[in-house]
Chain A
Amino acid sequence: MERTVPGLFARQATGLVREGNSRSVLIYNINFVSIGLMLVFALIMIPAFYPGANVEGTFVAAFVVVIPTSLIYAMLAAAMPRSGGDYVYVSRILGPSWGMMSSLNNTIWWILYGGVPSAFFAYYGLTPLLRGLGVLTNNATLIRYGNDLSTPTGAFIIGALLIIVLVTIFAMGLNLYFKIQNVLFAIAMVGILVTIGILVATSHTEFVSAFNHYIGRVTGHANSYAAVKAAAAKGGFATAPFSLYWTLIPITWIYLELVFNQSSAYIGGEVKRPGRVQLWSMPFAAIVSTGIAMIIAWQMERVVGTSFLGAVSYNGGAAMGFASTPVYTELVSYAARNVVLGFVVTFSFLFWSYSWLPGQILNSSRNLLAYGIDGVMPAWLGKVSEKRHTPVNALVVMGIGSIAALWLYTRPTGPFKTLTGIFGFILSFLMVSLAAMLFPYRQRAVWEASPVAWRWGRFPVISVLGALSFAACGYMAWDYLNDPLSGLSVVPHHTGGLFGHQDFAMFILNILIWVAGWVVYQVAKKVRARQGVDLDATYRELPVE
């Protein structure tokens, strides 16, 4: 008999396992957050386009807003492990048509956003690598190649190749990819450490001197640092005193990454323990990611200068002779004054640049597979390769959709902006938050049997956190609709186009995609009814008396 679980006697029976490795779950969640991308957007966007914003303040505010949502996902996963994520939580707690609404919304946006990190791989990964090395070695060809990859055509080709490669690897099997990913993650974290080391060892004066030395060889200006600031000022860039409003609005750029710290599923044993380490790995990923990003952001502001960060982004890199804004890794590589260190910083960032993409492929293909198996979408979506045990058809759908989205995303005047679909994800987070609030009341027995049947006074903890998460998500929905750079607007402007303004069209698209799942479910219900299958039976409560 086993005595490993305190208080009870377990006999020799299949499935008695020890808890999984929480470090692995933490790595997965940090991967999805992408500390590197969080820094790219915080340092490119906030100093340049949100006058009076305090970058560290924005990070702290983003963390506060994200934590309730992170906690409810962790608790739902602990209460219903192995059950399939938020598609199942919402279906079981609120009803199957609502579950489909929430899930299909996420799935469509994951597919569309597959086009985004694949472009980032070009914009923020390969371009800085080639351009940075070109600047450090005074090689105009490398600089030109780097610039070319940031063009719409260059980014589309690179991004499409990346999607095809990853979808192919996933179709061959997940295990190989994730073993490689652990190595890539280690390389990326080494890059983070080297970045911090370079920044800590560099003064502002030393950075300005290095910048002028390297960029001077490209532009011919002896004082390129001043030239960049002057060009931006001429274009309208100006700093401003501290503004709480403009500190809070750009939470959008950090929330974009940080909210996905809840991406892992909780995989526990059958003889359930409270599993506190696993339960806290999701919020802990948020803490680790935010902490590291804040340290680097603080050092970047000290070494490079906050107003310079704003100016170089506002100017779009033009004053440096670049086709796009240089990202922080390029600036750090100049501060390194060493080609090898510069290479380490920019090369290691390649992994951060596309790190959302594998999780998006995994999540969307799993959902498509589930829809096929559950009968809400054609059965061929649920086909699994007999040899590789991978959802090949779902992966192909994901790949094609993402490449189409990549094309749209890389159009300079296109409607699909980086932040456009996060509002859509928030609509699903709102539904999950509501499910968390109602969980102890609508699934009482499951909640009471779970490791998270905690109370604060008379209130279930998960319900309280669900309410906080609902409020936080509500705030973020408002934030995305009011961020001038989100690509969304609830106000149609009468300046041409179908709705008068493409930002309003994208807002309508978000709503339509959100509602699509409910419509799909109703259609599927009618179709399957003719086959003698009752879709509403999927999560029908069975009486126990």
Chain B
Amino acid sequence: MGRFTLYFATDIHGSERCFRKFLNAGKAYGAHAVILGGDVTGKALVPVVEQVGGSWQASMFGKTEVAEDTAELANVEDHIRALGFYPYRTSPEEHARMADDEAYLSDVFNGVMRASTERWVDMADSRLSAAGLPCVVMPGNDDIPEVKDVLASSSWLVQGEGHVIELGPYQVLSLGYSTVTPWNSPREISEEEMAGHLSGLAEQIAPGRPVIFNVHNPPADSGTDLAFKLTDQMRIETAGGEPVKAPVGSHAVRAAIESVQPVLSLHGHIHESRAMSKIGRTRVCNPGSLYPDGTLQGVLVTLDGETVKGFKFVSG
């Protein structure tokens, strides 16, 4: 079968910088294939409001950035995208409407996310096909349902959720939902539903070919699922100045790993839980995410048949 090197990153949450790095990561690290775990879209929209006189103004965290011409405007928008946010050019009237009309704002935001994801898909189709680098993608729990269709429209990327697909000598089972979180994100399901999805996908596994899980939600009590505990006011709980962490992974995911025993199980969702562990003979991994810094955290895994020969966490 020979050695097969896989690069996995996840949870880039709209960071243009991280996405561009992802497109170059496979070649930079010498990978045979790349997988982008879920949560590809951003969490915030930044209105860039046209001012009288033709300048533009955007405000974030109490700081106001002003662009006097198109070049400066492009810089401001690049800066916003680098943070994982979406710049949106608007008029003062529309800005006021967005502030008052929740439904209108939601339509605008969803439209911006769709358009941005379509642009990313076009970029990926062009770059990765030129490099001949297979790439599996999927939506995560924070992505609106339409994102799955946009990813599936790609001519090169393979939208993996809901399928077991071939990737080199391996089969990859992908699922991007998460179990219930305090944030009521767009794609959350119960543990029972998670178990149902996973068992349905497991039935698609063909015998005789090693399996890789690409499941957004990490398994329970695996070390890859330790999230900051939150107070009722949604603050990170601390004790003695140290953040308190607790396992929040899925028992259904753990049960599926224990049952199928894939050679490798890749997860994301909990950004602060960068870790590698084992469940039975399965190597379980979460590379974490530092997308707000523009840093692309990932993991390089070298596989040889049913064995993980080596792994390396990387930060680009």
Contact = CB atoms under 8 A, between A and B. Distances in A.
Residue among B83, B106, B312 having the largest count of chain A Cβ atoms under 10 Å: B312
B239 A9 contact: no
A545 B27 CA distance: 13
Contact of A1 (B85, B105, B294): B105
Contact of B272 (A80, A82, A174, A445): A82
A509 interface: no
Interface in B301-316: 302, 309-316
Contacts of A5: 44, 60-61
Contact of A8 (B82, B85, B309): B85
Interface in A346-390: 362, 373-375, 382, 384, 386-387, 389
B242 A178 contact: yes
Interface in A8-57: 8-21, 24-29, 31
Contacts of B106: 1, 11
Interface stretch (B149-157, B159-167, B168-176, B220-228): B220-228
Nearest to B184: A12
Contact of A449 (B25, B79, B310): B79
B62 interface: yes
Interface stretch (B16-24, B66-74, B131-139, B205-213): B16-24
Interface residues of A, number: 78
A181 B293 contact: no
B300 A537 contact: yes
B296 interface: yes
Contacts of A270: 13, 43, 271, 292
B223 A389 contact: yes
A9 B242 contact: no
Interface stretch (A215-223, A243-251, A401-409, A528-536): A528-536
Given A8-B60, A543-B24, A21 B243 contact: no
B46 interface: yes
Contacts of B236: 17-20, 267, 269
B59 A7 contact: yes
Interface in B53-108: 58-64, 79, 82-83, 85, 98-99, 102, 105-106
B244 A175 contact: yes
Contacts of A498: none
Contact of B316 (A175, A389, A448, A541): A541
B189 interface: no
Interface in B217-255: 221-223, 226, 228, 230, 233-236, 238-245, 247
B45 interface: yes
Nearest to B240: A178
Contacts of A27: 240-241
Contacts of A451: 61
A14 B109 contact: no
B276 interface: yes
Contacts of B145: none
B interface SS class: mixed
Contacts of B242: 28, 174, 178, 264, 362
A494 B78 CA distance: 65
Nearest to B272: A82
A181 B242 CA distance: 11
Contacts of A450: 293
Interface string B13-53: 10001001100110011100000000100011111000000
A374 B288 CA distance: 14
A249 B126 CA distance: 64
A21 B235 contact: yes
A389 B62 contact: no
B185 interface: yes
B10 interface: no
Given A14-B185, A543-B21, A179 B239 contact: yes
4 tightest A-B contacts by CB? Answer: A28-B241, A7-B59, A178-B240, A542-B316
Interface of A: 1, 3, 5-21, 24-29, 31, 79-80, 82-83, 88, 92, 174-175, 177-179, 181-182, 185, 264, 267, 269-274, 362, 373-375, 382, 384, 386-387, 389, 445-446, 448-451, 528, 531-535, 537-545
24 contacts: A1-B105, A6-B62, A8-B60, A10-B43, A12-B185, A14-B142, A14-B178, A17-B230, A19-B235, A177-B240, A181-B239, A182-B239, A267-B236, A273-B61, A274-B62, A373-B274, A375-B312, A445-B294, A446-B295, A449-B79, A532-B309, A539-B316, A542-B24, A542-B316
Given A80-B290, A174-B244, 10 more contacts: A6-B60, A7-B47, A14-B269, A18-B235, A19-B236, A31-B241, A185-B240, A389-B245, A532-B310, A543-B20
